[in-house]
A and B are shown apart, each in its own frame.
Chain A
């Protein structure tokens, strides 16, 4: 069977790698400027064809390379994990300033968490790359989703993911309620640590 991503499949890892390099460079520039590295780690993934096909259908698009690359925005996903909240917003600022990059959309689930307690900062970028894109443009515009979060937010998200993908969890409602509570407690720790850091650096 031909790849859902069609002839564009081989370029997706290259796009991911390029964006990862740019983000790591932001971290290095910041380390040189302030002496503190701002990035804990960066992870990239290409969305598996099966889940992309399923997502296209769920959103009402015909599963095609066009849908996967233009209608759906997370064929290439990049997760950036920081230690402190301010660092996450700093990277978001730097990403907005990147050359050859267009911001498609941004969603601030840090200042406005999802009802289940999920916190993260989402940016959809269109990055100019030398490869011809599905619209026939060279250099092409390639869409990537960047998720920025702190270590605490990242740990919480992985726990929530376990709940979501496990069948028949006992006391699921209670567990969801407790997850929400712990999300707000972690947010409180993140904010307190940021406050303490600000106090240290103010003096």
Chain B
């Protein structure tokens, strides 16, 4: 799992990074709100931890901008103890949960597990990019034409659409889509990318999946027939 940590206190950041990495998270650490917004715009994260009191852009402003850019990644806010307004404003700005400083690392880890678990259930039923629509429940991809997708194709397409323009590593996709199949051949990811490429083309979608076998893939606008 890939996590973005925005915390300006160097010492706390260092401790959190160590604890998170120990749990198997891949962590990108930044130290102000503006850097968090920039990172979130180019990378696909499974969750984000944002401190509210940060230089160059506070955590709530950063979160608001991240949400306005269409990012649905679960976010946990770190708030100071006394600030009720921060907690309310933070949740209203699109945070999924908050934790009041000081906190126990075990609780942070449990809350991260909780918000990433919930993410799957909260995915919207329809994702739209330009004129391309993915109906997640019906497993239907449509543009000029409509086509049915398999369950795995739908999940993969959903990840690509939720992270439009961002690079997604084969290994991460394999981990999210084929989590239950421990013995899966890593080449399966490429085969499914091929299915989706042909299916995007067959519905006349103006979207392209960039990337080579084994590398990172990226869904971008343009390149199609529409």
Contact = CB atoms under 8 A, between A and B. Distances in A.
Contacts of A184: 140, 146-148
B198 A194 contact: yes
A180 to B, nearest CB: 8
Contact of B145 (A112, A181, A198): A112
Nearest to B187: A199
A194 B197 CA distance: 12
B144 A111 contact: yes
B214 interface: no
B199 A191 contact: yes
A192 interface: yes
Nearest to B144: A112
B194 A188 contact: no
A44 to B, nearest CB: 29
B225 A111 contact: yes
Contact of A188 (B149, B191, B197, B225): B149
Nearest to A190: B202
Given A184-B140, A187-B202, A191-B202, A113 B195 contact: no
A110 B201 CA distance: 11
A188 B144 contact: no
Nearest to B149: A188
Nearest to A182: B148
A195 interface: yes
Interface in B190-214: 191, 194-195, 197-199, 202, 204
Chain B binding surface, main DSSP class: mixed
B194 A198 contact: yes
A185 interface: yes
Nearest to A189: B148
Contacts of B148: 181, 184-185, 187-188
Contacts of A110: 202
Nearest to B142: A184
A191 B195 contact: yes
Contacts of A181: 148
A191 B191 CA distance: 13
Interface string A173-203: 0000000010011011001101110110000
Contacts of B204: 111-112
Contacts of B191: 195-196, 199
A195 B144 contact: no
B194 A199 contact: yes
B132 to A, nearest CB: 15
Nearest to B200: A191
Contacts of B195: 191-192, 195
Interface string B112-154: 0000000000000000000000000000100011111110000
A181 B195 CA distance: 19
A86 to B, nearest CB: 10
Interface of A: 85, 110-113, 181, 184-185, 187-188, 191-192, 194-196, 198-199
9 smallest CB-CB distances across A and B, nearest first, come from A185-B148, A184-B148, A188-B148, A195-B198, A191-B198, A195-B194, A191-B202, A188-B147, A187-B147
12 contacts: A85-B202, A112-B204, A187-B148, A188-B150, A191-B147, A191-B195, A191-B198, A191-B199, A195-B194, A195-B195, A198-B198, A199-B194
